[in-house]
């Protein structure tokens, strides 16, 4: 049984009398521990699909089942609670709180859980160390490079030990060296911690870190398979 099962996913928006359909009757299965990349031109539906799987948006039609739970049937409050436990989200522009240190930014999601201060600190340190950014724990975002900020954002995404890690263009604002560093960290989480990772990207070199790449166009899948090897990509 797949970890994620999507059936007939459709998302529609109305703009005046025009119906915009960024996702059109999509079926998708993602195995536990898989690293999946979603590619396609702007407006192809890849970020829409990512946000539906993450429970951030709701489909107009269709069903999403994650680890046996049909999240499309959950109430808004139950979905928010489910998302806080099962989803770690990595954004393109980091979304760090500028007045908080790296440690405090990573700790932030844990403040919503019933944990002691000692347990929160332990989990935060573990996440920072897993991503190799613990030596910058007392730095504010403005004191970090773009690659370091994104590594802090990844640590924040994994601090709750989520079932699924989703990343929307996580290297889109980074230079090639920083992008390689960030993707190596995501690949290590996938391989060493058995995290299921779903990634949206425009970059073939970034997609090459994935086990499988799906290309979308106009809300539908146009190809589904393993990416071609890219020089310089290592796990």
pLDDT digits (tens, 9 = 90+) for 88-101: 999 888 899 999 99
pLDDT averaged over the chain?
92
Q: What one-character-per-residue DSSP string does 142-168 give?
A: GGS-HHHHHHHHHHHHHTT--SEEEEE
pLDDT of residue 227: 52
Q: What mean pLDDT is predicted for residues 51-61?
A: 95
Round to the nearest angstrom and report the end-to-end CA distance of the chain. 26
pTM greater than 0.85 = yes
Q: Cα-flanking dihedrals φ and ψ of residue 100, to 5°?
A: -110, 145
DSSP alpha helices (H): ranges in 4-162?
Answer: 46-53, 76-86, 102-107, 117-130, 146-158
pLDDT of residue 173: 87
Go through the domains of the chain in sequence order and give each one's CATH number: 4-225 (3.40.50.300)
| pLDDT greater than 60 at residue 186 | yes
pLDDT of residue 114: 87
Question: What does the DSSP 8-state code read for residue 226?
Answer: P
pLDDT of residue 231: 41
| pLDDT greater than 50 at residue 230 | no
Contact between residue 86 and residue 166 where contact means Cβ atoms under 8 Å apart = no
**How much of the chain, in percent, has pLDDT values that exceed 90?**
85
């Amino acid at each position: 049984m797949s970890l994620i099962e999507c059936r007939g996913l459709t998302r529609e928006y109305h703009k005046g009398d025009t119906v915009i359909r960024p996702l059109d009757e999509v079926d998708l299965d993602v195995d536990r521990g898989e690293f999946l990349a979603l590619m396609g031109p702007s407006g192809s539906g890849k970020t829409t699909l990512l946000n539906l799987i993450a429970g951030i948006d709701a489909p107009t039609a269709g069903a999403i089942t994650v680890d046996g739970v049909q999240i499309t049937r959950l109430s808004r409050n139950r979905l928010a609670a489910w998302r806080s436990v099962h989803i770690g989200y990595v954004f393109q522009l980091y979304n760090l709180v500028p007045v908080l240190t790296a440690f405090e930014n990573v700790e932030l999601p844990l403040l919503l859980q019933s944990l002691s201060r000692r347990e929160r600190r332990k989990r935060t340190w573990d996440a920072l160390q897993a991503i190799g950014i613990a030596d910058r724990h007392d730095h504010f975002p403005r004191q970090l490079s773009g690659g370091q900020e994104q590594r802090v954002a990844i640590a924040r995404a994994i601090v709750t030990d989520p079932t699924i890690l989703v990343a929307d263009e996580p290297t889109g604002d980074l230079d090639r060296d920083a992008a390689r560093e960030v993707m190596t960290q995501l690949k290590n989480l996938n391989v060493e911690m058995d995290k299921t990772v779903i990634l949206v990207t425009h970059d073939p070199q970034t997609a090459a870190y994935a086990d499988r790449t799906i290309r979308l166009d106009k809300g539908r899948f146009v190809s589904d398979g393993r990416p071609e090897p890219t020089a310089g990509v290592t796990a």
